[in-house]
Amino acid sequence: MSVLAYGVVAWLFLIGIYGVVSSRNLIHLVVCLSVSQSATDILLLEIGYRAGGHAPVFVDLPAHPGPAVDAVMQALALTDVVIGAAVTGLLLALAVQVHKRAGTLDPDKLRATRD
């Protein structure tokens, strides 16, 4: 079980980086970076998981269904998601301007300081 759980993290991270390296479109590249970044979210949630655990929300329940999972990791995952959204937005804005200046979104066709 551990192998599968943590294997997913490594796989997502590497496949995202592969997408970034091999990308032919800047928008695709930004999405690949998000895929790679989601690996960290999953890792955080997995570290905080406890078998049979319920969400760390203690609304009046007659009997709590077992232990609660780690709320700290969920709070960190929330931070991660927000930062991810901020980074994605900035990169997409850059992609918009690159397309206006260079007329292409293919990173291979971009040449620095042509004019």
Partner 1 sequence: MSRSARLMFFAAAAAALAATLGVGLSGLPSFGSQISAYARMLNELAPAQRHVTDVVSAISFDYRGIDTLFEEFILLSAVTGISVLLRPLSDESRQLPEDKAPDRTIPPPSPAVWLLAVFLGSLLVLTGIETVTHGQLTPGGGFQGGVIVASAVYVAYLGTNYVTVERFQPGALLEATDGVGASGYVVIGLLGLLAGADFLSNVVGLGGTGNLISGGTIPLLNLVVGVEVAGGFAILASEFLDQTAVIRTRRR
Contacts to partner 1 by CB under 8 A:
1-2, 5-6, 9-10, 13-14, 17-18, 21-22, 46-51, 53, 55-60, 67-75, 78-79, 81-83, 85-87, 89-90, 92-94, 96-97, 100, 108
Q: Which is nearer to partner 1, 99 or 113 (CB)?
A: 99
Which are the contacts of 81, defined by CB distance < 8 A and separation ≥ 6?
A: 41
What the block records as the tokens of 82 is 């927000």
What is the nearest approach in angstroms of partner 1 to the Cβ of residue 20? 9
DSSP letter at 52?
Answer: T
Question: Helix or strand or coil: residue 68?
Answer: strand
End-to-end CA distance of the chain: 55
Nearest distance from residue 3's CB to partner 1, in Å?
Answer: 8
